[in-house]
A and B are shown apart, each in its own frame.
Chain A
Amino acid sequence: MTPFDASIATKAWATGPGAEPEEGIMEGSRRHAIAAYILVALGTAVATAVVAALLVNIFERKQEAKNPFLKLVEVTEDDVDPAKWGVNWPRQYDGYLRTSDPTATKYGGSAVGPEGSMPPQKAERDPWLKRIFAGYLFSVDYRDRRGHAFMLHDQEVTKRNVPGEGKQSGNCLHCHASVMPLYRKLGAEALSQGTPGEQVQKGLEIVGGMDYWEAHRLLEQVTGKAHPVSCVDCHDPDTMELRVTRPAFLSGIRNLAASDAPVPHLPSIGRWRQGSRSAPYDPNVDGTRQEMRSFVCGQCHVEYFCGKGTTIFFPWDRGLKAEEIEAAYDNLVVKGRRFKDWTHAETGVEVLKAQHPEFEVWSQGIHARSGVACADCHMPYKREGALKVSEHWVRSPLLHIPRACETCHPYGEKEIAARVEAIQDRHFALLTRAGEAAVAMLDSLVAVRKGYDEAGWRDALENDPAIRRLGELQRAAQWRLDFVAAENSMGFHAPQELARILGESIDLSRQAQAEATRLASRTAASAEVHAAP
């Protein structure tokens, strides 16, 4: 029945008593009238229900906006279990949990296997890695990355860290576990009169002096279970403000601030340098909110040294560039000798190993210079209802381009992906070329070494200027190549800077090769002269 019919029926009823219509019509119009009532009532009821639903929807959104979280449980500095924090901040915790999902981009995690399988060895794609790491544990086991959730597990199962072999120290836990309660406990026991900062540093030294598995066992005793990076590592449990907890970052950035190295992307260091310098630079006091959104990541995504016998440190006292870090290592004396990570098995040269210097490389790029923090791209803001949440499923920006990139570069997802791929493809080609140059260098050095016995070669590396120079070239070429290869962005964090470093690496490798070839032919010629008479 249409509304028009209803109005006729209503009219019939209105004129009813006076008009005395015939019985049949009367019956019919009454039926019509009842139907009309029911229809109008139903219509109004539905409309009211819709409006009520809208009202509730608006109410919910207003509540969401008013109460971004509800603190149901108290969390403290000692709560390293993220599940407890997840009771108060379920949205962030949801994201954190998803870091266990396998993700893949063209150059990162590109061959993700079935659930539970380990990521592939890096050397499958870049075979030259095996050569440059000859004699080092990274030639044994060096896999592609996985998400935050696996950081501790992957360290427990890598062949570089087999229990009983004693190859790694407790230093590793600085970044692979939520370790602060252990540092505080051991530090307070050893240095009961010290400030909290001094106690943490002391705890770091004590743990660094232990075998990895001994430290791991102690951590389990203190925190119940060893957890990978957790909420408390970046957030103040009282205010949820970002803060830096890791002592190696605190001292590293303090040394960087005290140096003359230009850091235009870190304005708070510039302000501190112009100030009285009465207190050392402290990111938790001096850092801006935006800087903290990179500093918390820089606690671990950096170049560092953490080998046995040394307390972990970040080599930033001359600056963040590859050659400034190299100079810091070259000027470091350990047990009376210039610092080395290991002795190369093929050439006997004492060389350096780079770890993932993401913070340092980001520092040289245009994004850092423009004030863009790690979290802006890797943990972009997203909205759930009326809430603005920062994504705690930390992953490649290429996996969420609209939020990560298009907030500033509104050119469409495909276009952005194509631009990034162009940068990464070029970078990968240059990286591969540098790897091949390094292999050619190693081949030619091995050829020179053949003319010497073991002791003679060791002596030549120390005392023969020409051979010594070969060693220096290898050390510098490898350091540059590894610095770039170990960095996780396939060139994106600072394309031009990384191309510059690779260019230097290729040049140094080829210099070494040319020099070695010259030496080899000279040795061969003199051998012929000796053999002739």
Chain B
Amino acid sequence: MTGRGSKAWVALSALAGAFAGIGAFTFHYAGGLGYLGSNPATCAYCHIMNDQFDSWRKGPHHAAATCSDCHLPPRFLAKYLAKGRNGYHHSMGFTFQPPRPDDPDARQVFVEPIRIKDFNSQILQDNCLRCHGEFTHGIVRGSTWADDAVRCVHCHEGVGHGARR
């Protein structure tokens, strides 16, 4: 082996190690492992969900269901796909938001108050019916999957979070 080549490898390995180390630390510091679990506190890590988390703690479903029970599909693969999809959108939004969203020339990354989008709205609706379906099947038959379907939370908006302050 030539000396020059092995020295370069050592340097590269050190660089790669530094990258791996700082990456691992960042992952740990940001509570990255938590995102694989289902502790509701994790969902408020990025602070945007503080209000939802706080009101869930005082809400009627507090004892019955956590964030992921309602907002993620129950099956393993679909659950982690949805986690990945949401995680990507949330982290991009939170990281690239302007520090002063009110400034006239601030670039709007997302609009507040945040709103559930179609993909997640369907997951939520399916989860309502996962528990309450038997009891309500007489009144929701067919309408749940239509684009303009009335979702359970349209009327029962305070069951999870966002109840009267």
Contacts and interface: CB of A to CB of B under 8 A. Distances in A.
A527 B22 CA distance: 104
A41 interface: yes
Given A370-B164, A382-B102, A48 B15 contact: yes
Contact of B47 (A59, A61, A370): A61
Given A44-B16, A290-B165, A402-B111, A388 B50 contact: yes
A322 interface: no
Residue among B18, B29, B100, B113 with the highest chain A CB neighbour number at 10 A: B113
Contacts of B50: 388
Nearest to A372: B165
Contact residue range for chain B?
20 to 34
Interface stretch (B5-13, B35-43, B58-66, B81-89): B5-13
A44 B29 contact: no
Interface in B82-125: 94-95, 97, 99-102, 111-113, 115
Given A44-B16, A55-B29, A384 B22 contact: no
Interface in A144-202: none
Contact of B99 (A51, A370, A385): A385
B15 to A, nearest CB: 5
Contacts of A48: 15, 18-19, 22-23
A410 B115 contact: yes
Given A48-B15, A48-B19, A383 B48 contact: yes
Contacts of A385: 97, 99
B112 A383 contact: yes
Contacts of B46: 61, 386
A42 B22 CA distance: 16
Nearest to A34: B8
A54 B12 contact: no
B165 A17 contact: no
A420 interface: no
A58 B12 contact: no
A51 B23 contact: yes
A108 to B, nearest CB: 20
A460 interface: no
B165 A54 contact: no
A41 B11 contact: yes
A33 interface: yes
B78 interface: no
A44 B48 contact: no
A13 B113 contact: no
Interface string A21-33: 0000000000001
B5 A13 contact: yes
Nearest to A413: B111
A402 B26 CA distance: 34
B150 interface: no
A309 interface: no
Given A33-B5, A382-B112, A403-B112, A51 B22 contact: yes
A504 to B, nearest CB: 33
Interface string A391-430: 0000000000011001100100000000000000000000
B15 A45 contact: yes
A58 B30 contact: yes
Contacts of A407: 113
B143 to A, nearest CB: 20
A65 interface: yes
Contacts of B48: 383
A41 B12 contact: yes
Contacts of A41: 11-12, 15
A44 B15 contact: yes
Nearest to A391: B102
Contacts of B1: 17
A382 B113 CA distance: 9
A40 B25 CA distance: 22
Given A44-B12, A370-B164, A371-B164, A386 B22 contact: no
A110 B5 CA distance: 75
A45 B12 CA distance: 10
Interface string A424-442: 0000000000000000000
A388 B101 CA distance: 12
Nearest to A370: B164
A58 B28 CA distance: 11
Interface string A42-76: 00110110011011011101001100000000000
15 contacts: A16-B5, A33-B5, A48-B19, A51-B19, A55-B22, A58-B29, A61-B46, A61-B47, A290-B165, A371-B164, A376-B165, A383-B112, A384-B100, A384-B101, A385-B97
Given A48-B19, A385-B99, 11 more contacts: A16-B2, A44-B16, A55-B22, A58-B26, A65-B47, A290-B165, A385-B97, A386-B46, A386-B47, A402-B111, A402-B112
